Chains A and B, each alone.
Chain A
């Protein structure tokens, strides 16, 4: 393709699941992010382009897309680091239904968080003392390792097991369940262990570590899932499952 040195050739997914890639030429800028590129296309070339973002600073987990075949958070992904010969292909996340263009339906992703009981269940009231969690205990260290998840679904899109077995709960929901299983204040651990031991649960993970390779927060959901597997294993042997 003949194009000026200061432009970027961008292909963006248009339509639903049966859509196709549309080509755009976008001005190349210093420190440009992939989200900047998508925004430029919407503002200058295709006002109907659908995509999702909110914070633009890597906190909200809204803007994940597939960039040159890999799931990424687009607001913190610099074009200079991912463009191949000034070319970008931007598609919606894998493993989720496409609503339109780059916007996926996240419903199933968040339903799986609930299915894994990924919510805190307290045992105290406002009248009780605030429970102290010592920062150096093994349980607190395990929580710290997984607590920074921003629900961006990059790990879910990267997971081959989800692609092969769509009912699998996936790395994000199980990572969240593991942080709660280590929370000494939580009262729902027995039910949560049963939830992650179900047929769609943690033992489906093959430790392929696509989630680890792509997590923008550098978390290790595979390690969290391994922790859940050990807990399920012990519970099954002791008849507590």
Chain B
């Protein structure tokens, strides 16, 4: 039953990620129009509550989505089961959240 809830969480985060990824890709195309520089990126993001929320949500959704996906990959290709699998997937997701939050903080704060 636990993995059914993980399935639901992965699908719900996919719903969240789909529009965010499209905006993110469009932003990449838009951002390089005038050359890609740290000053240009920080000028847009520093102190921006909107971009902070956008990428904050992005990081959380991506971390949950990817950790559940990696759990399935490990279970199927490494035949991994039990608490080791659950702990590793959880650590992987938390690592993504920490790394992502650090990156968001670096460009927003």
Residues of A within 8 A of B (CB): 161, 164-165, 194, 197-199, 201, 203-204, 229, 232-233, 236-237, 241
Asked whether B8 lies within 8 Å of A236 as measured between CB atoms, the reply is yes
Partner of A201 from the list B4, B11, B72, B75 (CB cut-off 8 Å) is B4
Chain A residues with CB under 8 Å of B3's CB are: 198-199, 201, 203-204
Chain A residues lying within 8 Å of B76, measured Cβ to Cβ, are 161, 164-165
Pairs A–B under 8 Å by Cβ, sample size 26: A164-B76, A164-B77, A165-B75, A165-B76, A197-B4, A198-B1, A198-B4, A199-B1, A199-B2, A199-B3, A201-B3, A201-B4, A203-B3, A203-B7, A204-B3, A204-B72, A229-B7, A232-B4, A232-B8, A233-B7, A233-B8, A233-B11, A237-B8, A241-B1, A241-B4, A241-B5
Number of A-B contacts (CB under 8 A): 35
Q: Which residue of B lies closest to A161 (CB)?
A: B76
- A97 CB to closest chain B CB, in angstroms? 17
Interface size on B, residues (CB 8 A): 12
Return chain B residues, CB-CB under 8 Å to A241: 1, 4-5
| A-contacting residues, B1-56, CB 8 Å | 1-5, 7-8, 11
Cα of A198 to Cα of B2 in the assembled complex, Å: 7
Task: Take A161-B76, A164-B76, A164-B77 as given contacts and tell me if A197 and B11 are in contact as well, using a CB distance cutoff of 8 Å.
Answer: no
A183 CA to B11 CA, complexed, in Å? 27
A165 to B85, CA, bound (A): 14
Complex contacts, A197 vs chain B, CB 8 Å: 1, 4
Give the docked Cα–Cα distance between A164 and B80 (Å): 11
Which of chain B's residues has its CB closest to A165's CB?
A: B76
Give every chain B residue within 8 A of A237 (Cβ-Cβ): 8
Report the nearest A residue to B75, measured CB to CB: A165
- Which residues in A have their C-beta under 8 angstroms from that of B2? 199
9 closest cross-chain pairs (CB), A and B = A203-B7, A164-B76, A197-B4, A236-B8, A199-B3, A165-B76, A232-B4, A233-B8, A203-B4
* Chain B residues whose CB sits within 8 angstroms of the CB of A232 once the complex forms: 4, 7-8
Q: A165-B75, A198-B4, A204-B72 are in contact. List 19 more A-B contacts (CB 8 A).
A: A161-B76, A164-B76, A165-B76, A197-B1, A197-B4, A198-B1, A198-B3, A199-B2, A201-B4, A203-B3, A203-B4, A203-B7, A204-B3, A233-B7, A233-B8, A236-B5, A241-B1, A241-B4, A241-B5
CA distance A190 to B10 in the complex (A): 23
CB A240 to nearest CB in B, in angstroms, measures 12
Closest to A163 in B: B76
B11 — nearest CB in chain A belongs to which residue? Answer: A233
The answer for the CA separation of A34 and B106 in the assembled complex, in Å, is 67
Q: In the complex, what residues of A have CB within 8 A of residue B75's CB?
A: 165
Which residue, of A164, A194, A201, has the highest number of chain B Cβ atoms within 10 A?
A164
Chain B residues near A165 (CB, 8 Å)?
75-76
Contact residues of B between 51 and 103, Cβ < 8 Å to A: 72, 75-77
| CB proximity of A39 to chain B, nearest CB, Å | 38
A165-B75, A165-B76 in contact; A194/B1 too (CB < 8 A)? yes
